Structure 1
Amino acid sequence: MTLRTEAFLDRVQERGNYETQQEAERAARVVPALLGAHLVGEERAELAARFPETYALILLSPLQAAEPLSPERFVRATAAWIEGATEKTAKWDVGAVLTRSVLLQLPVGFDLLFGRSLST
């Protein structure tokens, strides 16, 4: 594991208040996979540059939707991908992975969903 990957997982674990690094890694894999599948256009590549290589490759996987998900549908999809998750815990997982620099790359509305207004 590279230092950048290790630091990223440590930050996710801290932000998500996860007891184990395995819990943090689960969120760190699911969130970029869903983002990559549901972002269209150049946003995918710009966003991938914000993640360590392992997670950037997950984000850039060949799966790609025809249109982006709304923030609310994104949270529901995240909950569906994580065993035992609810929309509330999925929102927590997403918030643990998405940093301010990542949120700045997402379509309008994602920042407000996670309690941050970045448009000001």
Structure 2
Amino acid sequence: MSMRKESFLAHVRERGEYRTLDEADRAARVVLALLGAHLVGTVRAELAARLPEAYALILLNPLQAAEPLTPERFVRATAAWIEGSTEKTAPWDIGAVLSTTAAAAGDVLTREVLLQLPPGYELLFGRPQPT
């Protein structure tokens, strides 16, 4: 069952402390477009199925990544794409979107998503590494 767009955005706005839903929406679009470029196959399809349709489409038709971005480069790319964002604030934007995405996905699917990503993304999802 996918999350409704209003509910998804409300969570992103709250976690990111955005002033407006538009700001939350812009962050969600950028982060999910970048994330989608890293995911393949059933994992991407299952994650999309749990997101509101507008964001599912972004995840399924992502920006094509020539190579997987390290977490650091993911942060830089996000900063470049979100107006007014910097490399200091981008992890905040990413965390707001990815923690909301992880909540929608559930633990099992989130672990499968992380397996497709380079090491270190756990922190961007707001999940500390297991020691």
TM-score by length of 1: 0.82
> Are 1:14 and 2:14 counterparts?
yes
Q: 1:33 to 1:24 in 2, by over 3 A?
A: same
Distance 2:62 2:70 in 1: 20
C-alpha contact 1:40 1:66 (8 A) present in aligned 2: no
Alignment of structure 1 residues 1-120 onto 2, 5 Å: 4-37=4-37, 39-42=38-41, 43-61=43-61, 63-99=63-99, 100-101=102-103, 103-104=110-111, 105-106=113-114, 107=117, 108-113=119-124, 115-117=126-128, 119=130
**Deviation (angstroms), 1:65:** 2.1
C-alpha contact 1:75 1:87 (8 A) present in aligned 2: yes
**Deviation (angstroms), 1:116:** 2.2
C-alpha contact 1:91 1:114 (8 A) present in aligned 2: no
C-alpha contact 1:40 1:67 (8 A) present in aligned 2: no
Deviation above 4 Å: which 4+ runs of structure 1? Answer: none
Distance 1:19 1:62 in 2: 27
Moved more, 64-73 or 39-48: 39-48
C-alpha contact 2:33 2:62 (8 A) present in aligned 1: no
Amino acid at match of 1:26: R
**Deviation (angstroms), 1:46:** 3.5
Q: 1:80 to 1:110 in 2, by over 3 A?
A: same
Structure 2, unmatched stretches of 5+, are none
Q: RMSD of the alignment, in Å? A: 2.4
Distance 1:115 1:94 in 2: 9
Amino acid at match of 1:77: A
Distance 1:11 1:113 in 2: 16
C-alpha contact 1:44 1:60 (8 A) present in aligned 2: yes
Identity of aligned residues (%): 68
Moved more, 43-52 or 56-65: 43-52
Distance 1:71 1:50 in 2: 23
**Deviation (angstroms), 1:115:** 5.0
**Deviation (angstroms), 1:51:** 1.8
